[in-house]
Structure formats: C-alpha cells, structure tokens
Amino acid sequence: MRKRWWLCSATDFQSLMYPCFICSRILGIFPYKLNASTFEISKLYCILSTVIICVCCVINFVIIDSLIESKLSYGDVVWDVYAVLYHTLTSFIVIVTYSLSVPRMRVLQTILEVSSKLSLKSYQKLSRLIHVKDIFVNILRIVQLALNWCTLREFKGNFLAIVIGVPTIYLALLILQINLLYVNCVCVLKACFKRINDSLIHMQSLIINDTNPRASNVLWHKNQCLKIELKVLKKQHLMISDAVQMLNMTFSMQVLTTIVMSILTITFDLYFYAIRWQNGVFFEVDWRSLDVLLTSLMYDISKITLFVWACETGKNQAQAISTTIHDLLNSTSDEKIKCELQLFSLQVLHRKNTFSMKGFSIDATLLATVSIRLFVVNIKIFVL
C-alpha cells in the first residue's frame, strides 16, 4: 500500500487496486493491512469499521421504523415504500459485507497470488481501464447524491436533510466501492485467463513452426519443455478457477441485492415520471427531474451494464481456453503432450468458470431478461 503508484500506470496488484483500497478503507470496509504481499486483519481499522457501520445501520433502522409508523414521510406513499425498501436493502448489503470480511480477505489474497504472473503490459492496460472506470463512476455517483441532497432539502429542510442524508450518502458510497471492488476483481481474473490462453497460442505456434525438425534430440527437448509448461498452466488455471469460485461465494449476495436495488430504482423513477406526465408537468425542470433524468437512470443502467460486461467477457475468455486446447491438440503428434492436453481439457470442462450470484449467471441473458421485464412493467405503469 505504501509503494509509489501512478494513475493508469500500475505495476502489480497492489498499485492496480490502490485507489479502490484507499476509498474502501476511508469508508470502513477495508480493515486489512499489507505485510510482504500478504493481507492481514488490522485491529485498529476493524474497530473503526465496526463503529462507523453500526452507527449508520442504527440510523438506517430508525429511518425505516419512522417511515413504517408514518412519523416520517418523503411526501408520497409510493416514495415512502421505495425509501423503506432502499434503506432495508442497503443495510442488508452492508451487514453481509461486514460479516464476510475474512472471506473477502482470502479472495483478495488468492487474486493477488494468481495475478502475480501477469506482465507489466497487462497491468498497465488493466490500470487504464480500472482507474478511468472508477473515476467516472465515482463522479457520476457523487453528482447524483448531491442532487438527492438538494431534493431532500426542498422537502425536509436542512436539519432533517443532514440527519437522513449523511448516513444515506455514506452507505451509498460504501455500496459503490463494494461493486467496484467486485468488478475490478473480475477484470483481473479475466486478464489471468487471457494470459493462459495467449500462452497456449504461443505454444501452438512453436509446434507448427517445428513440424520438421532437423534433429530428433531438439524435438525431444522441446517436447519436454512444452510438457512442463502445460503442467504449470494447468496448475495456474486451477488456482484461477478456485479464485472465481471464492469470488462468487463471497460477493454473490451483495451483487444480487445491488441488481435488485437498481431494478427497483429504475421502476420507481419511471413511475414518478409517469405520474408527472399525467399531471401535465412532465417537462418541468427541478432538482428531482434532474436527479432522475440525468443521473439516477444513467447510474443504475450503467451499473447493471458494467456487471454484465465484466462477467460476460470474463466467462468468454475462460471458455476460449478450451477452444485453444483443442486447436493445440490437433497441431501436435507427440502422445505425451496429447495426454497432457486431454487432461487439461477435462479440467477446463469440469471447472465452469462463470460469474454467478446465488445460481443466476451474470451474463447477456440476465441483461436481456432485466430489460424486457423493465419494459413490460413500465408499459403497464404508463397505461395505468
């Protein structure tokens, strides 16, 4: 964490994830310290994280209770229902994330180990993607929360805006860092799968270029080297597959709840505009309309798309390894190399490296299903 790093110029896993780790530590969901490339629980950060999260969750529960007992209102029954659902789901995500601090540390440690084989060029390409993405999403989220704050002040005044807004903004930023951490880990694992696939393609070019060697001992030494490299790649693939499984087990509940929250937010925002359209004030510009039109819909749609893009491309990169293995199998005539390739193929077949959330795969099918259902729901809202 103390190594020098430059924006969009990462050299290892720590410098690649440094901005995400720092933001997570400030918000209290990174109670770890790095000692000689090893993650360890920090007692000081753990105590600080416990205190901050407990205070914010207690305030959240008070807000939920006040909304249920009608002591507090956002001006409309529909928005009160949405507020209860939103505060309940955010509290659930934070509590689950806090309770899984140790498994999350193991996931990060495993990804750190498997990504140590990546080249400097791969880290720099990843850093340009991850750092720019994180900056853009954070700016978009901060703008949205600022517009929400202005809207809340119009309804409740300065005091209640502070009481309700501060924990709400904190939990919203915390959930954003959880999502970014998950997407960044998926991108790193995708790069690891790509490295294995590129190594197999390079191995195939060596076999094709030496189909007629001048000396048999050269061919024998070359085949021995290829067998050793295949065993190393098999071991690395197994470690990456274990990391994918650990990532799914640790983040699946948070990702599922986040996507449900995004769907609810999009539905309620479009319902809000349907009501305004029926009242003839659809084109009236105020803080609420700017929040819904410019940031809320854009943020939630971008979030679902980002999840699906990262997980779909990661799955495709993992599946490409199987095709490359079969191409390599057809290019060689050495029986021992063929045996190693067949074992590697069986390993890839048995380890379905898909990024999922509680049994649901995060892929293009999920995006299509969500889009169709949102379209149907919103058509019904506008008709009613």
Could you tell me which of 234, 246, 229 has the C-alpha nearest to residue 346? 234
Helices 297-331 and 120-209 meet at what angle, rounded to 10?
Answer: 30
6 within a domain of the structure (yes/no):
no
DSSP β-ladder status, 356-357 and 360-361? antiparallel
The Cβ of residue 55 has, within 10 Å, a number of other Cβ atoms equal to 12
pLDDT score at 73: 75
On whether residue 1 sits in a domain, the answer given is no
Cα gap 191→125, rounded to integer Å: 10
Pick 363 or 314 by higher pLDDT. Answer: 314
Q: Is residue 162 situated within a structural domain?
A: yes
Is the pLDDT score of 195 beyond 90? yes
pLDDT at residue number 241: 92
Q: How big is the chain by its Cα radius of gyration, in Å?
A: 25
pLDDT digits (tens, 9 = 90+) for 41-61: 888 888 888 888 888 888 888
Per-residue tokens: 305: 């798309």
Supply the pLDDT for residue 283.
Answer: 47
Contact between 317 and 197 under an 8 Å Cβ cutoff? The reply is yes
Handedness of CA 339, 343, 345, 346 (dihedral sign): positive
pLDDT at residue 2, rounded to an integer: 46
Assigned domain for 308 exists: yes
**pLDDT (tens digit per residue) in 295-326:** 677 788 888 889 999 999 999 999 899 889 88
239-292 per-position pLDDT tens digit: 999 999 999 999 999 999 999 888 888 887 777 766 655 555 444 555 555 555
Q: What is the pLDDT of residue 44?
A: 86
- Full residue range of the structural domain in which residue 142 is found: 13-383
Question: Structurally, how many domains does the chain consist of?
Answer: 1
Residue predicted with more confidence, 215 or 69: 69
Residue 215 confidence (pLDDT): 47
Decide if 115 contacts 191 (C-beta within 8 A).
yes
In a domain, 168, yes or no: yes
2 part of a folded domain: no
Nearest alpha carbon to residue 340 among 350, 328, 349, 351: 328
Residue 3 falls inside a structural domain: no
Across the chain, mean pLDDT equals 81
The answer to the question of residue 25 being in a domain is yes
